[in-house]
């Protein structure tokens, strides 16, 4: 069976920490979409590690980690990350596997990402500029180079063909970027990648499932950044929702069991696009400061606001979320008052569904207010010790989204999590 852990908001919900926490219960952790736009933070031996490409189960010696076909893979980032992981004594040649169908990010994808964003002016998506959009375009355009192709004699000629095509696109954008250093790093990293386990991912995972092994699919980004159901066009280029697990790993929907959604106790977004509950005031600043809300991949300040229950319920519906983990509850420890959004007010009407083209609407969030719990919760281990006011907050969320919050994370550390 396959359980899924994915983000219910605009990314950075704390998926890395939660995957790392649950990983000991699983045999395989598999990434099914996204690429190095992801930044998943975990603490290993009290040291902070940010993973972009490698699944967050890598630090558990017995766990096998798979980069699935739905991922776009930058060999340079992967190599860098393998070096970091090796310093912790992890042998990636033993417990990291890559699907031969995984699409490769080449240096010109990164350059094209820059070119495309620089053309957009006010309509900038705020991309991480890691080449994600252009790489997925080459996948659907049927031009991509895949991990399995790196082992083929025709790789270099295919690479040159692709680079030429990209160069023409960049000429159209009147954009020029010297990629010679990137290319040098790329080819070095490709050699390294070829030395890793490149496997038939779909048989690999299904054979393990048949043997009764437990798989966890690790999502990147968040449901509101999904290419179909997110706040388009301010989204990423993959299906971040649970349906992406089937196409991104080659497993049947019948094999999916628990869908564990991760949400912060409030909301953040990095990059452009609609964010109805965004706070532009001192409270937003306070959330950013207390939550250390700066991007794990780009270092950009994250936009902060109150929890948006309209969007959260939508995300639970689209994903078939069976349980919710609420992270960063401790960040709210010092607030006198908390708010959650229960409806969007548009032209004097309350709507409780996520509308099409949110970016073209003027949305005023309708807020429900709560007294803060004003207690340091970071050392709490048992549900009974959580403040009653926090429990009220959680109960309200449970009933609104019709999905139970089963864990509360109360700090970035591995052991800072409470089963509710």
Site for ligand IMO in 243-282 (CB under 6 A): 270-271
Active site residue 83: no
- Report the residue number, 148 or 222, with the smaller CB distance to ligand IMO: 222
Alpha carbons within 13 angstroms on the beta-carbon side of residue 419 total: 2
Q: How many CA atoms lie within 13 A of 125 on its CB side?
A: 21
Is the dihedral angle over the CA atoms 278, 302, 238, 414 positive or is it negative? Answer: negative
SS3 220: coil
List the single partner that 330 binds among Mg ion, ligand IMO, ligand GDP, none, CB under 5 to 8 Å by kind. ligand GDP
Confirm or reject binding of residue 271 to ligand GDP (CB under 6 A).
no
Annotated catalytic residue within 12, 138, 226, 308: 12
Quickly list DSSP for 314-337: HHHHHHT--EEEEE-GGGGTT-SE
Angle subtended by helix axes 309-319 and 388-401, to nearest 10: 60
Q: Which stretch binds ligand IMO (CB under 6 A): 101-109, 181-189, 214-222, 317-325?
A: 214-222
Query: Least distance to ligand GDP from the beta carbon of 287, Å?
Result: 11
Q: What is the rounded distance in angstroms from the CA atom of residue 112 to the CA atom of residue 260?
A: 35
Which candidate, 4, 15, 37, 29, places its Cα nearest to that of 227? Answer: 37
- By CB under 5 A, name the one of 12, 81, 218, 330 that touches Mg ion: 12
Which part of the chain contacts ligand GDP (CB under 6 A), choosing from 14-22, 149-157, 278-286, 314-322?
14-22
Q: What are phi and psi of 28, to 5 degrees?
A: -135, 135
Q: Which of 3, 20, 40, 166 is catalytic?
A: 40
- Cα(36)–Cα(43) distance, integer angstroms: 19
Q: Which residue is nearest to ligand IMO (CB)?
A: 271
According to CB under 6 A, which one of 9, 240, 322, 410 is a site residue for ligand GDP? 410
Please give the Cα distance from 199 to 101 (Å, whole number).
9
Binding residue (CB under 6 A) for ligand GDP from 2, 6, 9, 14:
14
Q: Which does 331 bind (CB under 5 to 8 A by kind): ligand IMO, Mg ion, ligand GDP, none?
A: ligand GDP
Q: Between 51 and 251, name the residue whose CB sits nearer to Mg ion.
A: 51
27 assigned to active site:
no
Please state whether beta strands 405-409 and 323-327 pair in parallel, antiparallel, or not at all (unpaired): parallel
Identity of the residue, 220 or 343, whose beta carbon is nearer to ligand IMO in the bound complex? 220
Select the binding partner of residue 128 from ligand GDP, Mg ion, ligand IMO, none (C-beta < 5 to 8 A, by kind).
ligand IMO
3-state secondary structure of 185: helix
Q: Output phi, psi for 331, to 5 deg.
A: -65, -25
Q: For residue 366, what are its two tokens?
A: 């309708």
Give the residue, chosen from 19, 49, 225, 397, that forms a contact with ligand IMO under the rule CB under 6 A. Answer: 225
H-run or E-run covering 246: helix 243-249
DSSP-derived letter for residue 194 is H
- Omega before residue 142 within 30° of 0, cis: no
Alpha-carbon span 235 to 296, nearest angstrom: 18
The residue range among 25-33, 64-72, 120-128, 176-184 that interacts with ligand IMO, by the rule CB under 6 A, is 120-128
Q: Is 39 in the site for ligand GDP (CB under 6 A)?
A: yes
By the 8 A CB rule, do 51 and 58 touch? yes
Q: Which of residues 276-315 bind Mg ion (CB under 5 A)?
A: 296
| Among 5-13, 206-214, 259-267, 411-419, the segment contacting ligand IMO (CB under 6 A) | 5-13
Beta carbons within 8 Å of 61's beta carbon, 6+ residues apart: 90, 95
From residue 38 to residue 57, the character string flagging contacts with ligand IMO as x (rule: CB under 6 A) and all else as - is xxx-----------------
Residue 158 has which token pair?
A: 């295919």
Does 109 contact ligand GDP by CB under 6 A?
no
Catalytic amino acids? Answer: 12, 40
Contacts with ligand GDP by CB under 6 A lie at: 7, 11-17, 39-41, 296, 327-328, 330-331, 409-412
Contacts with Mg ion by CB under 5 A lie at: 12, 39, 296
Contacts with ligand IMO by CB under 6 A lie at: 7, 10-12, 34, 37-40, 125-128, 130, 132-133, 220-222, 225, 236, 270-271, 296
């Amino acid at each position: 069976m396959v359980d899924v852990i994915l983000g219910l908001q605009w990314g950075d919900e704390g998926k890395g920490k939660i995957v790392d926490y649950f990983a000991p219960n699983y045999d395989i952790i598999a990434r099914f979409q996204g690429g190095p736009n992801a930044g998943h933070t975990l603490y290993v031996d009290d040291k902070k590690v940010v993973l972009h490409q490698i699944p967050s189960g890598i630090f558990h010696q017995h766990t096998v980690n798979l980069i699935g076909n739905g991922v776009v893979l930058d060999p340079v980032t992967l190599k860098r990350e393998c070096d970091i992981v090796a310093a912790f004594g992890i042998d990636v040649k033993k417990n990291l596997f890559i699907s031969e169908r995984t699409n490769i990010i080449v240096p010109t994808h990164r350059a094209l990402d820059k070119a495309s964003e620089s053309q957009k002016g006010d309509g900038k998506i705020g991309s991480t500029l890691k080449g994600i959009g252009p790489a997925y375009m080459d996948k659907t355009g049927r031009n991509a180079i895949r991990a399995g192709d790196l082992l083929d004699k025709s790789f270099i000629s295919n690479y040159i063909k692709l680079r030429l095509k990209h160069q023409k696109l960049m000429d159209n954008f009147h954009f020029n970027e010297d990629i010679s250093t990137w290319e040098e790093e790329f080819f070095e990293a490709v050699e390294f990648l070829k030395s890793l386990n490149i496997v038939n991912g779909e048989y690999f995972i299904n054979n393990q499932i048949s043997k009764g092994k437990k798989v966890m699919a690790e999502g990147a980004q968040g449901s509101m950044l999904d290419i179909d159901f997110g706040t388009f066009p301010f989204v990423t280029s993959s299906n971040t929702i649970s349906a992406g697990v089937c196409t991104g790993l080659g497993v049947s929907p019948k094999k999916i069991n628990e869908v564990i959604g991760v949400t912060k106790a409030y909301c953040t977004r990095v990059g452009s696009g609609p964010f109805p509950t965004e706070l532009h005031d001192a409270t937003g600043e306070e959330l950013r400061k207390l939550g250390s809300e700066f991007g794990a991949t780009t270092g950009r300040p994250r936009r902060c606001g109150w929890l948006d229950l309209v969007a959260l319920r939508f995300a639970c519906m689209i994903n078939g979320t069976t349980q919710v983990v609420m992270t960063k509850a401790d960040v709210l420890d010092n607030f006198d008052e908390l708010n959650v959004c229960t409806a969007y007010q548009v032209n004097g009407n309350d709507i409780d569904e996520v509308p099409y083209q949110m970016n073209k609407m003027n949305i005023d969030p309708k807020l429900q207010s709560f007294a803060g719990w004003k207690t340091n919760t970071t050392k709490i281990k048992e549900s009974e010790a959580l403040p009653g006011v926090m429990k009220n907050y959680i109960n309200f969320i449970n009933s609104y989204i019709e999905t139970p919050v089963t864990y509360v994370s109360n700090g970035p550390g591995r052991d800072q999590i409470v089963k509710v």
